Amino acid sequence: MIRIVSFFMDLIDIPMRHAQRYLRGHSIAWVFLFPNLVLFGLFAFLPILLNVAYAFTGTDNIMLWDRTYVAGENFAALTACSNYLDANSCELDLFWRSVHNTLLFIVLQVGIMVGVSLVTALILNRRIRARGFFRSVFFFPVLLSPVVVALIWKWILQRNGLMNAGLEQLGLERVVWMLDRNWAFAWSVFLSVWAHMGFYTLILLAGLQAIPRDVYDAATMDAAKPFRTFYRITLPLLMPTMLVVMVLALIKGVQTFDEVYAFTGGGPGSATTLIIQYIYETGFAGAPRLFGLASAASIILALVLAALTFLQLKFTRRNADG
Amino acid sequence: MAKAIDFLTRTRGHGKLHWTDWFTYAYLLFGILLMFGPVVWLVMSSFKTDAELDRFPPRFLPYAAQTVELEGYSKPLPLYKVVSGELAGETVAQVRRIGLTSQVVRLDAPDQIVKIGLKDREPIERISIATENYTNLFSKFDFLRFFWNSTFITVVATVIMLIVNSMAAFALAKYKFSGRAAVMAMVIGVLMIPQTVVLVPLFIVTKELGMLDSLWGVIVPGAATPTGIFLLRQYMLTIPDEILDAARMDKASEWKIYWRIVLPLSAPAIAVLAILAIMWRWNDFLWPLIALSRSDNFTLQLALNSFQGEMTTQWSSLLAMTVLTLLPVALVFAFLQKYIATGIASTGGK
Amino acid sequence: MADLRLKNVTKSYGAVEVIKGVDLEVAHGEFCVFVGPSGCGKSTLLKMISGLESITSGDLYIGDDQVNEVAAAERGLAMVFQSYALYPHMNVRQNLSFGLENLKTPKPVIEEKINAAAKMLQIDELMDRRPRDLSGGQRQRVAIGRAVVREPRIFLFDEPLSNLDAELRVDMRSEIAQLHRQLGNTMIYVTHDQVEAMTMADKIAVLRSGLVEQYGKPLDLFNDPANIFVAGFIGSPKMNFIQGELQGNRLLLKNGESIELPEARFHLKDGAKVTLGIRPNDIAPGSDATHGLNANIKSVEQLGGDSYIYAVSDMGDNITVHRPGQVNVSVGDKLLLEVDVDTTHLFDTETGLTLRKNRTGNTSEASAQ
């Protein structure tokens, strides 16, 4: 095996040696970058340009040259609302419903996620036995695929499922969770927190462990009470990490699709349809395929994400600087 | 047991347990239940027969009715214990059920049908593992095909990604060429454009390259990741330049320096990235959903998702399939837990 | 025949010029040391010779060939790095053989060369170990071994001893010197430690901010430094410097004292600003006021066999005195220090150049190389 790889690599070495001779000094770097840049070009940069082109053209033709220029029509359609808070007043009510759903979803999800992750990280940061084990307990679901997560909880929440059995045990009525708009939404938020909190816990735990022991010792010498220590020392020192976690959670929250789609399919009705699902269904699942509209919605989303990513890089860098 | 509790509750500092210690352990216990519980429940359920899956309230262990083969009946008959009436105490086999009465036969007289009330009998059950849930996956569904598709995509995409990204990371970490800052800016740019926001054009580019509805259409578009470049570059920066210079003095070509010196020395970072890539690819959903349309090409995730629509009532197969889908991830996790945690913490996810 | 020749070689990073025109010849078999304070460009110069850094202008010859554009690997040189730069993932044997494999040397030959080098450097016991399992001295030997097996025309050493502790450094110093005698190759050795330079070199090049200040045999540099910088850099403890004005053949100090120099050797006008350089060996407590100056003793180090007196003159100059044996002075004493005027050096204060003896005409011009 090693021999085969070795032979293959030596084979590549022949043209590379020639390249090295012609490209003086450090220009050889471009040869190493080439495959990656081709992939980035084809599957990241070209799509951005195309995305703009599609957003400003209409008809359901897939080839760009068959499409007609419609200027800002797609954007106009997306934003045609008499009242942005009421999706029914919009021309594309489903889009606005998905925007509202997404906003509510990330507010709840990020809030709960950061809270739960912080508590968990604080607890894991205490002097406990088997910290490694408990850390992986909370981390484990992060590795599960969204579809698996969705099915696990769907099975528990089905009409004859474990959750309803628990309710009956407590003397309560059974609930058909997936057919109730509010319950379906609430469980979607829960499921996504369940699946991802381990990841944020891990980051916060690393942040907590980076706080030097001496600071706590100094606080003890200053006779600070535990809660005071938390508010005046732990929380301020953890704030940079918290910011990173919050922005990361926002970035991922906005892009939530897989687990909720597999869990509810966007229903009941459109109660749990999020923005990515709207783009997916507009561009790919529906007929006719409205590429222009999907692209326009993508661009709006991309701008939001770019802003958030910029924030994240800024916070991360500030963290790294000290 | 007392020892176990003692072990778990022992604090490292002071001898006595504060209320916060109790809270801590209560929280952790609840955590285990909430995080592992659903998965354990899934695995348990996947071994249950359809009848047992329909049962409410559900039971933890997989039970199945005991059956007996009797002469004159084509199917095995379920066994019941009669609790009241004239046959009380006897074991009978039920032939059929009509309304509130049950037609049963004694085991020693299989041709004499007796009618008893439903309430007069109790099923005889034993723990039994419904392995047919799993074997059906192979016989009735094309499970192996989906498994192969997922595996192929995961392995090939990971290998391509490791090679392509490590080459780029090497160039960005070890050469001072004009344009390096521009390339770094491009990489950050790509970081800001997740796949989710360029779905339409990505679909069109893939289609134009003739890769739509083929496994390559899933592999290639995501083969180069900015995260991979960042992770590997960061690590390669820690390799002293003097080692590269030494290799140059040893007449190694630049390519040889890359694969004989830098690549082996970056093994820890490569391992972390490989694990991450495997997880991303194995669990990937949205892009395969768009790029693959023939069910022949479906990955496990797509198959799972599409079957949950088709087989709303057939939980038995669906649960078994879910278990098999999460199994590889669980195994990877069990063995490489430490790498995964550090890897994910260092990249900040995808 | 010169093995290595540099002709007006320069190096710039953008607008910053770090090597400002170096001319140098190293004869075959010579042990040449580049010495200078940190940041003087000595390592850069070495890397330019090795081919790892490009040459901005000028010519570099190895043997008869101009090699400016020849890649590092093709120049037939071998280098020992400051951090050793051993390949961490290869064992000692693989470290030694990697370069030979790249040269497509046949296996048995590689084996033979490695074993010979290992024996010579006494690392044959360590062949299967990884670098991280070796001590500093052992790593150093492996690094040298890696260079030796290549049988290079010229060995390059980039501060190879700076990561070792003092004792080991002395040992390795003599080992490298012995290696040089044994192999007879040309060696170029970079260090910031003038003791290393003095003890090992056939020739020393003293560098300062990208220029060679002086190039010559160690004792020539010591006895006849070209300028105040070389005089101060070579020799330990450092040369003492006293500034004054020339008045006939007397050096007039600021406080009115004067030191009488042997004869009017310096054809300079009265009132010329000069600096007198006195080695610590050439000054001692005495009684002859014509060649002496007054000083206060700040501290005394009595090592038994040698004594060092650290004093401050009335003008505030620090003066170090080295005497063999033991001295009978103590801190706080005021005493007359008598200068052995025949061995002193005189420098032009403004240009820093040595004012040479027994010359006619304009003597302030001294050759730097």
* DSSP string covering A268-313: STTTT--HHHHHHIIIIISSS--HHHHHHHHHHHHHHHHHHHHHHH
Burial of B130 (0-12, 13-18, 19+ CB in 10 A): buried
Residues A191 and A45 in one domain: no
8 Å CB contact of A295 and B57 = no
Residues C252 and C326 in one domain: yes
Does C82 reach chain B within 8 Å, measured CB to CB?
yes
8 Å CB contact of C87 and B261 = yes
8 Å CB contact of B249 and C99 = yes
8 Å CB contact of A305 and B183 = no
pLDDT reading at A316 higher than 80: no
Residues A32 and A130 in one domain: no
Position C368 scores a pLDDT of 39
All partners of chain B with 3 or more CB pairs under 8 angstroms: A, C
Per-domain boundaries in chain B: 2-45, 67-123, 141-347
| Structural domain of C339 | 238-348
Please check whether residue C363 lies inside any domain of the structure: no
Please check whether residue A256 lies inside any domain of the structure: yes
Per CATH, the architecture of B141-347 is what?
Orthogonal Bundle (1.10)
Q: How confident is the model at residue C367 (pLDDT cuts 50, 70, 90)?
A: very low
Long-range contact set of residues A270-274: C-beta below 8 Å, sequence gap at least 24: A270/A94, A270/A97, A270/A98, A270/A101, A271/A101, A271/A181, A271/A182, A271/A184, A271/A185, A272/A101, A272/A184, A272/A185, A272/A188, A273/A94, A273/A97, A273/A98, A273/A101, A274/A98, A274/A101, A274/A102, A274/A105
Peptide bond into C88 cis (omega under 30): no
Give the CA distances from residue A288 to residues A99, A202, A284, A294, B55, in Å, rounded to whole numbers and listed in that order.
22, 44, 9, 12, 44
| Structural domain of A21 | 2-55
8 Å CB contact of A299 and B197 = yes
CA proximity to C203, closest of C43, C70, C34: C34
Task: Choose the final residue of a domain: A36, A55, A74.
Answer: A55
pLDDT reading at B173 higher than 60: yes
Residues C197 and C77 in one domain: yes
pLDDT reading at B264 higher than 60: yes
8 Å CB contact of C81 and B245 = yes
Position A174 scores a pLDDT of 85
Alpha carbons within 13 A on the beta-carbon side of B216: 8
Q: Measured between beta carbons, which residues in chain B are less than 8 angstroms from residue C102? A: 250-253, 256
> Do B242 and C85 form a contact (C-beta atoms < 8 A)?
yes
Give residue-wise pLDDT tens across range B289-341. Answer: 999 988 889 999 999 888 887 656 578 888 899 999 988 888 877 777 766 66
Share above pLDDT 90 across residues of chain B, in percent, rounded to a whole number:
29
The rounded mean pLDDT for chain A is: 85
> Do C187 and C33 form a contact (C-beta atoms < 8 A)?
no
8 Å CB contact of B249 and C73 = yes
Please check whether residue C175 lies inside any domain of the structure: yes
Please check whether residue C367 lies inside any domain of the structure: no
Position B61 scores a pLDDT of 77
Q: Give the Cα separation of C363 and C352 in Å (integer).
A: 13
Instruction: Say which of A152, A160, A203 has its CB closest to residue B54.
Output: A160
How many other CB atoms are there within 10 angstroms of residue C22's CB atom? Answer: 23
Residues A316 and A171 in one domain: yes
Please check whether residue C360 lies inside any domain of the structure: no
Long-range contact set of residues A299-303: C-beta below 8 Å, sequence gap at least 24: A299/A51, A299/A52, A299/A55, A299/B197, A300/A75, A300/A78, A301/A254, A301/A275, A301/A276, A301/B196, A301/B197, A302/A48, A302/A51, A302/B193, A302/B197, A302/B198
Residues A163 and A230 in one domain: yes
pLDDT reading at C1 higher than 60: no
Give residue-wise pLDDT tens across range C314-331. Answer: 888 889 999 998 888 888
Does A32 reach chain B within 8 Å, measured CB to CB?
yes
Instruction: Say which of A151, A226, A305 has its CB closest to residue B192.
Output: A305
Of A41-55, B215-229, C80-94, C248-262, the range with the lowest mean pLDDT is C248-262
Residue with more model confidence, A55 or B6: A55
Task: Choose the final residue of a domain: C213, C230, C247.
Answer: C230
Q: Give the Cα separation of B40 and B74 in Å (integer).
A: 37
Q: Measured between beta carbons, which residues in chain A are less than 8 angstroms from residue B280? A: none
How many other CB atoms are there within 10 angstroms of residue A232's CB atom? Answer: 14
Please check whether residue C359 lies inside any domain of the structure: no
CA proximity to C28, closest of C60, C3, C64: C3
Position C45 scores a pLDDT of 93
8 Å CB contact of B251 and C73 = yes
Q: Give the Cα separation of A63 and A289 in Å (integer).
A: 12
**CATH number of the B67-123 domain:** 2.30.30
Q: Measured between beta carbons, which residues in chain A are less than 8 angstroms from residue B19? A: none
Q: Which segments of C103-242 does DSSP mark as H helices, in order?
A: 107-121, 136-149, 166-183, 194-200, 218-223, 228-233
Residues A104 and A47 in one domain: no
Residues A127 and A264 in one domain: yes
According to the per-residue pLDDT averaged within each range, which of A71-80, B50-59, B178-187 is highest? B178-187
Q: Give the Cα separation of B140 and B149 in Å (integer).
A: 18
Residue with more model confidence, B1 or B340: B340
Position A147 scores a pLDDT of 93
A37: left (phi over 0), alpha (psi -120 to 50) or beta: alpha
**Torsion sign (Cα): C65, C66, C72, C77:** positive
- The one-character DSSP state at A231 is I
Peptide bond into A288 cis (omega under 30): yes
Task: Choose the final residue of a domain: C175, C209, C230.
Answer: C230
Residues C204 and C343 in one domain: no
B68-79 average pLDDT score: 77
- The one-character DSSP state at B17 is P
Does C173 reach chain B within 8 Å, measured CB to CB?
no
Instruction: Say which of C72, C89, C98 has its CB closest to residue B265.
Output: C89
ipTM confidence score: 0.85
Instruction: Say which of B224, B305, B333 has its CB closest to residue A40.
Output: B224
Please check whether residue C32 lies inside any domain of the structure: yes
pLDDT reading at A114 higher than 70: yes
Of A56-60, A179-183, A218-222, C77-81, the range with the lowest mean pLDDT is A218-222
CA B325 to chain centre: 4
The DSSP annotation for B200-261 comes to HHHHHHHHHTT-TTSHHHHHTTTSS-HHHHHHHHHHHTTS-HHHHHHHHHTT--HHHIIIII
pLDDT reading at A187 higher than 60: yes
Position A227 scores a pLDDT of 78
Overall domain count for chain C = 2
CA proximity to C56, closest of C42, C73, C44, C65: C44
Please check whether residue C358 lies inside any domain of the structure: no
pLDDT reading at B3 higher than 70: no
Q: Give the Cα separation of C154 and C225 in Å (integer).
A: 28
8 Å CB contact of B285 and A40 = no
Position C369 scores a pLDDT of 38
Please check whether residue A193 lies inside any domain of the structure: yes
Instruction: Say which of A26, A168, A252 has its CB closest to residue B57.
Output: A168
Q: Report the largest interatomic distance among the alpha carbons of chain A, rounded to a whole angstrom.
A: 82
Q: How confident is the model at residue A19 (pLDDT cuts 50, 70, 90)?
A: confident
Share above pLDDT 70 across residues of chain B, in percent, rounded to a whole number:
90
Instruction: Say which of B240, B250, B267 has its CB closest to residue C98.
Output: B250
Of B42-46, B213-217, C288-292, the range with the lowest mean pLDDT is C288-292
Please check whether residue A115 lies inside any domain of the structure: yes
Q: In degrees rounded to 5, what are phi and psi of residue C158? A: -105, 100
Please check whether residue A29 lies inside any domain of the structure: yes
B182-198 average pLDDT score: 86
User: Which CATH number goes with the domain that contains A204?
Assistant: 1.10.3720.10
Q: How confident is the model at residue B16 (pLDDT cuts 50, 70, 90)?
A: low
Please check whether residue C217 lies inside any domain of the structure: yes
How many other CB atoms are there within 10 angstroms of residue C319's CB atom? Answer: 22
Q: How confident is the model at residue B10 (pLDDT cuts 50, 70, 90)?
A: very low
8 Å CB contact of C74 and B245 = no
β pairing state of C273-278 and C258-260: unpaired
> Do A258 and A146 form a contact (C-beta atoms < 8 A)?
yes
Residues C94 and C165 in one domain: yes
Burial of A119 (0-12, 13-18, 19+ CB in 10 A): middle
Task: Choose the final residue of a domain: C210, C230, C250.
Answer: C230
Q: Give the Cα separation of C257 and A98 in Å (integer).
A: 96
What's the alpha-carbon Rg for chain B, to the nearest Å?
A: 30
- A266-305 burial code (b ≥16 CB/10 A, e <16): bebebbbbbbbbbbbbbbbeeeebbbbbbbbbbbbbbebb
Q: How confident is the model at residue C359 (pLDDT cuts 50, 70, 90)?
A: very low
Instruction: Say which of B8, B57, B199 has its CB closest to residue A283.
Output: B199
Q: Measured between beta carbons, which residues in chain C are less than 8 angstroms from residue B256? A: 102
- B-contacting residues of A 224-253, CB under 8 Å? 226, 244, 248, 252
Q: Give the Cα separation of C189 and C184 in Å (integer).
A: 14
Burial of B339 (0-12, 13-18, 19+ CB in 10 A): middle
Residues C120 and C215 in one domain: yes
Does C305 reach chain B within 8 Å, measured CB to CB?
no
Of A40-49, A61-70, C156-165, C170-179, the range with the lowest mean pLDDT is A61-70
How many other CB atoms are there within 10 angstroms of residue B329's CB atom? Answer: 18
Q: Return the residue of B nearest to C98 by Cα.
A: B250
Please check whether residue A62 lies inside any domain of the structure: no
The DSSP annotation for C295-337 comes to EEEEEEEE-SSEEEEEEEETTS-EEEEEEES-----TT-EEEE
Q: Give the Cα separation of A282 and A50 in Å (integer).
A: 17
B18-33 average pLDDT score: 87
Please check whether residue A65 lies inside any domain of the structure: no
Of A57-71, A120-134, B34-48, the range with the lowest mean pLDDT is A57-71
**Torsion sign (Cα): B238, B242, B248, B251:** negative
Share above pLDDT 90 across residues of chain C, in percent, rounded to a whole number:
38
CA proximity to B323, closest of C289, A155, A137: A155
Position A260 scores a pLDDT of 93
Position A72 scores a pLDDT of 79
Of A202-206, B68-72, C39-43, the range with the lowest mean pLDDT is B68-72
Residues C251 and C282 in one domain: yes
Overall domain count for chain A = 2
Does C151 reach chain B within 8 Å, measured CB to CB?
no
Residues C58 and C189 in one domain: yes
Q: Measured between beta carbons, which residues in chain C are less than 8 angstroms from residue B236? A: none
State how far residue B305 is from chain C, nearest Cα, in angstroms.
46
Position B285 scores a pLDDT of 92
Position B174 scores a pLDDT of 92
> Do C11 and C48 form a contact (C-beta atoms < 8 A)?
yes
Burial of B270 (0-12, 13-18, 19+ CB in 10 A): buried
Residues C221 and C258 in one domain: no
pLDDT reading at B66 higher than 80: no
Residues A125 and A244 in one domain: yes
Residues C117 and C219 in one domain: yes
8 Å CB contact of A165 and B286 = no
- B-contacting residues of A 78-117, CB under 8 Å? none
Instruction: Say which of C74, C77, C85 has its CB closest to residue B243.
Output: C85
pLDDT reading at C126 higher than 60: yes
Q: How many separate helices (H) and strands (E) can be counted in chain B? A: 16, 8
Q: Which residues pair with C345 in a beta bridge?
A: C277
8 Å CB contact of B333 and A50 = no
Quickly tell me which residue has 């535990």 as its tokens: A226
Position B194 scores a pLDDT of 83
Position C360 scores a pLDDT of 43
The rounded mean pLDDT for chain B is: 83
Position C363 scores a pLDDT of 41
Position B148 scores a pLDDT of 94
Give residue-wise pLDDT tens across range C141-155. Answer: 999 999 999 888 899
